[in-house]
């Protein structure tokens, strides 16, 4: 009888669901409740089952039939959301709306589409772009003497400035019809990366005009007249641009800029009663400002006279001001960590400018913040990652060579495990960051504006760049700390914090932007729910909110189940499109994607608006998202490179390190979640059988160190795109020559060592021993010359610079 009642109840429920064409939510709920009841129906009386069945029917109808659910359930929840949802400021809303959602959306989905990842085109350059790298960029790098630039001149030499301008380096993003090079993001990134491997000052000088600034803003928002007037002059280097946003009282909180302008009539260029703006500003840290001829300026615009109509406070507005405009002050310089790129303050007090100086004209009044947010992705996605990877590649190549050439205790220092450890980090971080740099540039080239991803790549490229430079200095020891023409590391080491600080300080980026913006922007339902909450049309809002809310519920339940099941198997059992040595990484990332989506939903549901203030929790969630993105880029790179088996140590170390860090980040989230019950539930769903992942092994580190110390295809692929001088008088050129010479001379050195041990050679010094061996016929005269050259190269590599006292005096 009991079973019959349950069957009838089930039939009634499914009939109602079918009649109302209920969503999948209803069917899932019905099945999830009915199946357990059937299993235990014998324990209940018929009357109890009837009550349960009626309650179940009511529950399913109430929550499963949209026509019933909307006015009863969704409308009530919508009212609650409108009451408790924290206010989003105008600047926050524009930051959230800026850009597009790309691969990070898949990572948020709980089930990334790996075939989609590998269907993205391979990263490549056009013939024209490659030719520019092989010729103009090569020539520029050969002209650069970073010691002379940073120590003697505190500036680029005049011939370098001229070369940069006439060869179009300032116009890489400008279309050809305006005289620019119209390069892809991939080429833009490659150019900056190569120049950065030679000189940080030159790299910044090249990248800033092609990043967030006048050219990009004009391309996207300028009037036709503004484009015609300025773009060609910018492309040819006739105009030197800068963009002024940051000031003493508005750094990371750029929306709080006190700089202001007031719409009024005034005199301009000899004409009276010109409608314009009287602007006052004080900005600092503005790259190229000391030499700029064209100043992009962000300020808050006010219209108390209502000359433009509408409100008095018109919002952040952007203008383009020639620096010879009366009242504009530039010229003084900051000196950021001994880097010589032009950077300094600019001020203006009640400077009158006509309305046509507003970028985009009066139609763009008050749209400045949105314009900046939409364009910021270029600086974060291209310039800073490219400059970081240029230094990382230089460090990887030189550290490997130095660790092989430099000997202590009669063996190369790179064979000591203490040196293998930093070499492994240098190699693997360089491999992963370069993969992410290329992948992110690809996103821009296919039309994406990935605001969340741009924050991820900016943060991790510069942070890992710092790790690599610290490790490189440790490997080089005393060679690294003595400044001079033969020190190829120290300036990069000194200047590493610059990239970490600009374009959104890394602390802010990690704790507030990556997850804080990504949780809303990349989640498949949250942005829709927020939009419905703020929609003034009640019926439309209710329909949108209902669809988003219950889609969100199914999404969360599905990820909870997937997270638990995949946690039990550590990702095993999932079918992956790649059945090779690396398929396990796809499984583990899918598992963590489900756990991440679940954790994000739990954090937002339980903490609500207070999540904004839980910065450490947000940072750890951002770490998970970031590591998954870096892993995705690394797997794609390996496949795009043709899956070379020789590169597997780099891939394995990078992936295992990232996956272990994901595990640690999840552990931090769970341990520090403010609700004890949620901590237990999350721990059970994400790590049902505990934590099993380990950091990379010492064996992998040994293999990477060997790859860096040995010329070969893997080493060349890892450092491809950096500038490599073939001049043995150049510090890096000499080191590369010394590496090849050391390896070639090993058999001869072995002969000399054996002869010395046996007593045949008695000379105490190496050069004398070579001559003695030649005279005794142990080696030929030609071999003696080869060993003498090898000694000279090794000595040049090992020696450090020294100076007469007057050479180091300031203003000598």
Does residue 237 surpass a pLDDT of 80?
A: yes
Pick from 429, 544, 420, 398: nearest CA to 66: 544
List the structure tokens of 330. Answer: 């530039």
List the structure tokens of 633. Answer: 């880029």
pLDDT at 520: 79
Distance, in Å, from the CA atom of 413 to the CA atom of 81, rounded to the nearest integer, reads 62
Does residue 374 surpass a pLDDT of 90?
A: no
Band of the pLDDT at 227, cuts 50, 70, 90? Answer: very high
Band of the pLDDT at 613, cuts 50, 70, 90? Answer: confident
CA angle 346-234-185, nearest 5°?
100
**HEC assignment per residue over 441-472:** HHHHHCCCCEHHHHHHHHHHHHHHHHHHHHHH
Exposure string for 382-420, b = 16+ CB within 10 A, e = fewer: bbbbbbbbbbbbbbbbbbbbbbbbbeeeeebbbbeeebb
Q: Which residues is 267 bridged to in the sheet?
A: none
Residue 104: CB atoms within 10 A of its CB come to 24
3-class DSSP state of 36: helix
Q: Which residues is 280 bridged to in the sheet?
A: 260
pLDDT at 12: 54
pLDDT tens per residue across span 511-542: 988 998 887 778 888 878 878 887 788 888 88
Does residue 8 surpass a pLDDT of 60?
A: no
**Highest averaged pLDDT of the listed ranges 247-261, 356-370, 598-612:** 356-370
pLDDT at 4: 56
DSSP 545: H
List the structure tokens of 807. Answer: 């050479």
pLDDT at 581: 79
Does residue 368 surpass a pLDDT of 70?
A: yes
Which alpha helices (DSSP H) does 477-537 contain, by range? 478-481, 490-501, 506-508, 514-521, 526-533
- What is the mean predicted confidence (pLDDT) over 409-434? 97
- What is the mean predicted confidence (pLDDT) over 709-724? 97
CA angle 775-781-785, nearest 5°?
115
pLDDT tens per residue across span 776-786: 999 999 999 99
3-class DSSP state of 359: coil
- What is the mean predicted confidence (pLDDT) over 146-157? 96
Q: Which residues is 282 bridged to in the sheet?
A: 347
Q: Name the percent of the chain lying above pLDDT 90.
A: 72
pLDDT at 53: 64
Does residue 340 surpass a pLDDT of 70?
A: yes
Mean pLDDT, all residues of the chain: 90
Distance, in Å, from the CA atom of 376 to the CA atom of 245, rounded to the nearest integer, reads 12
Residue 804: CB atoms within 10 A of its CB come to 7
pLDDT tens per residue across span 295-321: 999 999 999 999 998 899 999 999 999
- What is the mean predicted confidence (pLDDT) over 417-446? 97
pLDDT at 48: 67
pLDDT at 661: 98
Task: Tell how far CA 180 is from the center of its chain.
Answer: 26
Pick from 172, 252, 257, 253: nearest CA to 206: 172
Tokens 């003696």 — which residue?
Answer: 784
484 within 8 A of 491, measured Cβ to Cβ: no
Distance, in Å, from the CA atom of 384 to the CA atom of 454, rounded to the nearest integer, reads 10
Give residues with Cβ within 8 angstroms of 394, minimum separation 6.
Answer: 197, 198, 488, 492, 719, 722, 732
Going by their DSSP bridges, the two strands 271-287 and 407-408 should be labelled as unpaired
DSSP 338: G
DSSP 496: H
Band of the pLDDT at 18, cuts 50, 70, 90? Answer: very low
pLDDT at 538: 81
Distance, in Å, from the CA atom of 653 to the CA atom of 699, rounded to the nearest integer, reads 10
- What is the mean predicted confidence (pLDDT) over 227-240? 97
pLDDT at 20: 44
Distance, in Å, from the CA atom of 757 to the CA atom of 368, rounded to the nearest integer, reads 76
3-class DSSP state of 172: coil
**Highest averaged pLDDT of the listed ranges 32-41, 74-83, 438-447, 524-533:** 438-447
Our separate counts of H helices and E strands in the chain read 35, 8
Does residue 186 surpass a pLDDT of 90?
A: yes
DSSP 329: B
pLDDT tens per residue across span 796-806: 999 999 999 88
Pick from 227, 201, 204, 205: nearest CA to 216: 227
pLDDT tens per residue across span 77-103: 888 777 766 666 565 666 666 678 899
CA angle 568-572-575, nearest 5°?
135
Measured CA to CA in angstroms, residue 3 lies from 10, 33, 256, 450 at distances of 10, 15, 67, 55
Measured CA to CA in angstroms, residue 542 lies from 26, 448, 521, 539, 549 at distances of 19, 31, 21, 5, 10
What are the residue numbers of the active site?
503
Distance, in Å, from the CA atom of 746 to the CA atom of 743, rounded to the nearest integer, reads 5
pLDDT at 378: 63
Measured CA to CA in angstroms, residue 470 lies from 25, 466, 483 at distances of 53, 6, 16
List the structure tokens of 293. Answer: 């001829």
């Amino acid at each position: 009888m009991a079973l019959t009642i349950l069957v009838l109840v089930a039939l009634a429920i499914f009939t109602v669901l079918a009649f109302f064409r209920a969503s999948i939510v209803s069917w899932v709920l019905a099945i999830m409740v009915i199946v357990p009841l059937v299993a235990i129906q014998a324990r209940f009386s018929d009357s109890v089952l009837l009550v349960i069945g009626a309650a179940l029917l009511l529950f399913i109808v109430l929550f499963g039939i949209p026509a019933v659910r909307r006015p009863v359930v969704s409308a009530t929840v919508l009212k609650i959301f409108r009451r408790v949802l924290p206010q989003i400021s105008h600047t926050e809303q524009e930051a959230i709306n800026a850009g597009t959602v790309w691969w990070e959306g898949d990572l948020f989905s709980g089930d990334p589409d790996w075939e989609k990842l590998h269907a993205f085109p391979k990263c490549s350059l056009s013939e024209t772009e490659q030719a520019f790298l092989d010729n103009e960029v090569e020539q520029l790098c050969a002209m650069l003497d970073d010691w002379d630039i940073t120590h003697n001149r505190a500036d680029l030499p005049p011939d370098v400035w001229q070369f940069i301008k006439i060869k179009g380096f300032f116009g890489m993003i400008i279309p050809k019809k305006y005289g620019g090079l119209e390069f892809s993001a991939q080429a833009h990134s490659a150019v900056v990366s190569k120049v950065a491997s030679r000189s940080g000052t030159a790299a910044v000088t090249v990248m800033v005009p092609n990043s967030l600034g006048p050219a990009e803003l004009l391309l996207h928002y300028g009037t036709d007249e503004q484009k015609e007037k300025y773009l060609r002059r910018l492309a040819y280097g006739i105009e030197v641009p800068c963009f002024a946003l940051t000031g003493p009282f508005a750094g990371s909180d750029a929306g709080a800029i006190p700089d202001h302008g007031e719409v009024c009539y005034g005199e301009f260029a000899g004409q009276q009663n010109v409608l314009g703006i009287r602007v006052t500003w004080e900005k600092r840290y503005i790259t190229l400002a000391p030499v700029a001829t064209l100043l992009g300026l962000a300020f808050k615009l006010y219209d108390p006279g209502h000359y433009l109509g509408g409100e008095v406070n018109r919002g952040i507005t952007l203008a383009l001001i020639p620096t010879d405009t009366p009242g504009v002050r530039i010229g003084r310089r900051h000196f950021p960590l001994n880097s010589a790129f032009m950077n300094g303050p600019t001020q203006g007090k009640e400077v009158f400018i006509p309305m046509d100086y507003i970028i985009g004209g009066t139609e763009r009044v008050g749209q400045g913040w949105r314009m900046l947010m939409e364009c910021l992705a270029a600086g974060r996605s291209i310039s800073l990652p490219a400059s970081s990877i240029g230094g990382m590649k230089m460090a990887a190549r030189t550290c490997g060579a130095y660790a092989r050439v430099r000997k202590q205790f009669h063996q190369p220092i790179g064979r000591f495990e203490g040196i293998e450890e930093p070499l492994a980090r240098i190699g693997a971080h360089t491999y992963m960051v370069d993969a992410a740099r290329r992948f992110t540039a690809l996103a821009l080239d296919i039309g994406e504006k990935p605001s969340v991803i741009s924050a991820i790549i900016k943060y991790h490229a510069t942070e890992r760049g710092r790790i690599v430079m610290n490790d490189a200095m440790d490997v080089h020891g005393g060679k690294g700390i003595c400044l001079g023409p033969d020190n190829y590391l120290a300036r990069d080491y000194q200047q590493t914090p610059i990239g970490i600080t600009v374009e959104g300080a890394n602390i802010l980026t990690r704790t507030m932007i990556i997850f804080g913006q990504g949780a809303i922007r990349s989640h498949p339902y949250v942005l829709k729910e927020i939009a419905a909450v703020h929609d003034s049309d009640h019926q439309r809002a209710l329909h949108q909110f209902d669809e988003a809310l219950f889609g969100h519920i199914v999404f969360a339940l599905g990820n909870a189940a997937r997270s638990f099941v995949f946690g039990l198997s550590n990702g095993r059992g999932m079918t992956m499109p790649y059945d090779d040595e690396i398929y396990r990484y796809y499984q583990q990332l899918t598992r963590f994607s489900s756990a991440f989506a679940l954790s994000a939903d739990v954090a937002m549901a339980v903490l609500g608006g207070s999540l904004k203030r839980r910065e450490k929790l947000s940072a750890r969630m951002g770490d998970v998202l970031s590591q998954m993105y870096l892993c995705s880029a690394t797997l794609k790179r390996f496949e795009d490179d043709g899956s070379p088996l020789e590169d597997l140590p780099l891939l394995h170390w990078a992936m295992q390190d990232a996956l272990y860090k994901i595990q640690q980040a999840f552990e931090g989230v769970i341990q520090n979640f403010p609700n004890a019950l949620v901590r237990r539930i999350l721990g059970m769903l994400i790590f049902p059988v505990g934590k099993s992942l380990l950091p990379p092994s010492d064996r992998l580190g040994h293999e990477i160190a060997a790859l860096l110390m040995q010329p070969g295809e893997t080493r060349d692929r890892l450092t491809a795109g950096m500038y490599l001088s073939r001049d043995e008088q150049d510090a890096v050129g000499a080191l590369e020559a010394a590496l090849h010479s050391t390896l070639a001379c090993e058999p001869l050195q072995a002969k000399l060592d054996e002869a010395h041990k046996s007593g045949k050679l008695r000379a105490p010094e190496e050069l004398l021993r070579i001559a003695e061996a030649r005279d005794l016929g142990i080696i030929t005269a030609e071999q003696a010359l080869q060993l003498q050259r090898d000694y000279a190269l090794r000595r040049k590599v090992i020696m450090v610079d020294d100076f007469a006292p007057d050479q180091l005096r300031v203003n000598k």
